[in-house]
Amino acid sequence: MRFLVTGTAGFIGYHLAQRLLDAGHFVTGFDGMTAYYDVRLKEARHALLARSNGFKAIIGQLEDMAALEKAAEVAQPEVIVHLAAQAGVRHSIEQPRSFADSNLTGSFNMLEIARAVKPAHLLMASTSSVYGANEIMPFQEADRTDHPLTFYAATKKAMEAMSHSYAHLFGVPTTCFRFFTVYGPWGRPDMALFKFVDAISKEQPIDVYGEGRLQRDFTYVSDLVEGIVRLIDARPAIGSPVAAEGVSDTLSPVAPWRVVNVGGGEPVGLLPFIETIERCLGKPAIRNMLPMQPGDVPATWADHRLLEALTGYRPRTSVEEGVRAFVDWYVDYTKAA
């Protein structure tokens, strides 16, 4: 099949594109190569994808409609997976305009592309951050998401709403999936695992926010990609909700649209997570205990029953396995750098 995947030089986009290429599909990747973090890491990901004859890269910003139209013309996509975004919960407090440009204007442009191309399925990346201040866990897709704590979360909630309106008006089957703290090899340097491993390796202190009481539903990147790949064939259709006991389907009554959690369903405390890193590195962390940061939530926890009902799959990689895989990659990557 022919895919247009945005964000292929990014962490998740790289892994998804590689999985699709390995399966024999054709992937046109679109990425802005922004300098939010070290561009050399993004270039290295794209270089690996470029080893496949099935991969073509288009460099451009989501705000540049002409560049997106070029990518769509090259790809002739049967499926579009929109992963590119300005990420970083705390960065959205400092630089909100970049989130408006990328996540609002950029997502609108992608919806216009889908309107013109009419792919068999449009899949768009959202986030567990949309659950905001919700206290009842695990988070179910049908829970209200009216209290985002950061502008990043607000832009993703807006993207979900915009995509529903387009699915209703123009009939493009659309699935929004909410990620839960994705980690693994080729991860982003601004994320906790990369920062912790890097600092501990160099015997530098790590900042432990919330006095270590935070919990996160860590999701290994290969599990996430497996969920996305399986959701490709789970196209939403009006009037065809999931019929599974205990599952609340989010299928819209007026559009071929739904939202799905992709998370492991097993929250892990921040301190046990750090202890896992220490075991994998064979080094102790120097911990700088700090209060909660603005925009942080105490815990995340995915209800994965809808994903399992739709695809027969749920993430299963343990944090111990996932952290060890990341540490092995980090050691190799920093040696080669």
List active site positions.
Answer: 152
Task: Please give the Cα distance from 193 to 184 (Å, whole number).
Answer: 8
If we measure between CA atoms, which residue out of 75, 76, 92, 216 comes closest to residue 157? 92
| Phi and psi, residue 272, nearest 5° | -60, -35
CA distances from 307 to 40, 41, 262 (A): 34, 31, 7
Q: Which two tokens stand for residue 336?
A: 């080669």
Residue with tokens 């994320």: 191
Beta bridge partners of 329: none
Contact 267, 182 (CB under 8 A): no
Task: Please give the Cα distance from 325 to 224 (Å, whole number).
Answer: 15
If we measure between CA atoms, which residue out of 127, 8, 1 comes closest to residue 56? 8
**DSSP character for 100?**
I
CA distances from 298 to 122, 150, 291 (A): 32, 14, 11
Q: Which two tokens stand for residue 245?
A: 């006991």
| Alpha-helical runs (H) found in the chain | 11-22, 39-49, 65-75, 91-94, 96-99, 106-117, 151-170, 192-201, 221-232, 270-281, 305-311, 319-336
Contact 300, 139 (CB under 8 A): yes
Q: Which two tokens stand for residue 132?
A: 């905001």
